[in-house]
């Protein structure tokens, strides 16, 4: 637990986000082989690639959605990884990666890209893929989506009260500040170019596929040695869908907070009023006794 942040269970009152599981990955181990490291930056088609890899049988393919929506306690492991790599606190090696990603046969998207070197070292047998796109269109897309989310005042506010948001938002900010030097708007393109250069220099050409999702199934399946599906290649998570999904998530988490306040707060208020009234009665009767 390099970050020093303890695990806390999901409140029973979080009824508006029933799809969020509560698995403490720190206690898990590897159950499936890691076969693919898809280390392209987010907003290069990683959500589509995740769907494609899952369709090919690489279940599960880890994505930021795992931590942000599906199982928020994953964020604790990512915070441990950030603390170890960027803050010099503790260690995060193969055992910790297996705990976090042990149920997965592939990984993609951020925050995994912040640990590309570490993942390549931990899983040398895995094939590496980098999804990519034009840097200018990528930067414009991220500005409208993930950079907006990392600075979303609604998310920041609800994170003070909601279990899932309280786990996710600090991790997202930690990633954004460490990976993009705290200035995505001005340094994002620089980081994009440097990052892809590092991957190309690190991974042998025979173990690296540079992939654009617009190319469809064939180059991906040929690289992985898989048959080409008859279904169309998945297309998902455009900018409008991203923003709408995030705003919907905010609303559901706000409703969790309000419901918990009603369930916990109303009985507490009733108890307070009861005892306040009781003390007043005792005080009145006590005064009557003194005057008699």
pLDDT tens sequence across 69-123: 999 999 999 999 999 999 999 999 999 999 999 999 999 999 999 999 999 999 9
Average pLDDT for 222-244: 92
Angstrom distance (rounded) from CA 40 to CA 175: 15
Neighbours of 201 (CB within 10 A): 7
Q: What is the CATH number of domain 25-287?
A: 3.40.50.300
Query: pLDDT tens digits for 255-272?
Result: 999 888 888 765 544 554
Would you state the pLDDT for residue 284? 56
The per-residue pLDDT for 262 is 84
Listed residue (254, 285, 224, 286) closest to 38, CA to CA: 224
Tokens of 160: 């003070």
The pLDDT tens digits of the residues spanning 32-75 come to: 999 999 999 999 999 999 999 999 999 999 999 999 999 999 99
> Which residue is listed with tokens 């995505």?
184
Ordered by start, the domain boundaries in the chain are 25-287
Q: Fill in the DSSP letter of residue 192.
A: H
| Confidence bin at 283 (pLDDT 50/70/90) | low
Q: For 190-196, what is the mean pLDDT?
A: 98
Q: What confidence category does residue 281 fall into, taking pLDDT thresholds of 50, 70 and 90?
A: low
What pLDDT is recorded for position 277? 61
pLDDT tens for 132-180 read: 999 999 999 999 999 999 999 999 999 999 999 999 999 999 999 999 9
Taking 50 as the threshold, does the pLDDT of residue 291 lie above it? no
Which backbone phi and psi does 97 adopt, to 5 degrees? -65, -40
Give the per-residue pLDDT at 263: 82
Among 186, 147, 145, residue whose Cα is nearest residue 47: 145
Return the pLDDT at 289.
39
* Confidence band, pLDDT 50/70/90 cuts, at residue 290: very low
8 Å CB contact between 78 and 114: no
46 three-state secondary structure: helix
**Is the separation of the CB atoms in 48 and 108 below 8 Å?**
no
pLDDT at 240: 87
Please report the pLDDT score of residue 77 as a whole number: 98
Lowest pLDDT segment from 40-49, 183-192, 281-290: 281-290
Backbone angles phi, psi at 123, to 5 degrees: -130, 70
Instruction: Give the pLDDT confidence score for residue 100 in this predicted structure.
Output: 98
Q: Is the pLDDT of residue 232 over 90?
A: yes
- Which tens digit of pLDDT belongs to each residue from 220-230? 999 999 999 99
The rounded distance, in Å, linking the Cα atoms of 16 and 61 is 25
**Alpha helix (H) ranges present in 87-238?**
94-101, 116-122, 135-144, 146-150, 153-158, 163-179, 184-202, 217-224
* Overall average pLDDT of the 262-285 stretch: 58
């Amino acid at each position: 637990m390099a970050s020093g942040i303890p695990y806390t269970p999901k409140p029973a009152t979080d009824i508006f986000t029933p799809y969020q599981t509560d698995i403490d990955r720190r206690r898990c181990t590897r159950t499936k082989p890691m076969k693919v490291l898809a280390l392209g930056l987010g907003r290069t088609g990683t959500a589509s690639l995740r769907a494609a890899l899952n369709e090919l049988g690489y279940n599960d393919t880890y994505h930021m959605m795992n931590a942000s929506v599906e199982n928020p306690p994953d964020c604790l492991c990512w915070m441990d990884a950030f603390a170890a790599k960027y803050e010099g606190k503790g260690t995060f090696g193969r055992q910790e990666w297996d705990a976090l990603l042990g149920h997965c046969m592939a990984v993609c998207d951020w925050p995994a890209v912040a640990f590309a070197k570490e993942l390549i070292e931990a899983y040398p047998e895995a094939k590496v893929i980098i999804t990519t796109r034009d840097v200018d269109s990528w930067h414009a897309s991220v500005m409208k989506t993930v950079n907006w989310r990392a600075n979303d005042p609604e998310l920041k506010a609800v994170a003070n009260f909601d279990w899932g948001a309280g786990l996710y938002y600090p991790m997202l900010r930690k990633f954004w500040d460490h990976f993009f030097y705290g200035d995505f708007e001005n340094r994002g393109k620089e980081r994009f170019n440097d990052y892809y250069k590092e991957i190309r220099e690190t991974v042998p050409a025979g173990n690296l596929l540079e992939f654009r999702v617009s190319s469809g199934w064939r180059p991906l399946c040929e690289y992985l040695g898989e048959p080409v599906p008859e279904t169309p290649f998945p297309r998902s998570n455009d900018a409008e869908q991203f923003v709408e999904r995030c705003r919907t998530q905010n609303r559901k988490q706000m409703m969790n907070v309000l419901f918990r306040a009603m369930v916990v707060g109303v009985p507490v208020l009733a108890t307070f009023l009861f005892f306040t009234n009781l003390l007043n009665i005792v005080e009145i009767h006590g005064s009557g006794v003194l005057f008699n």
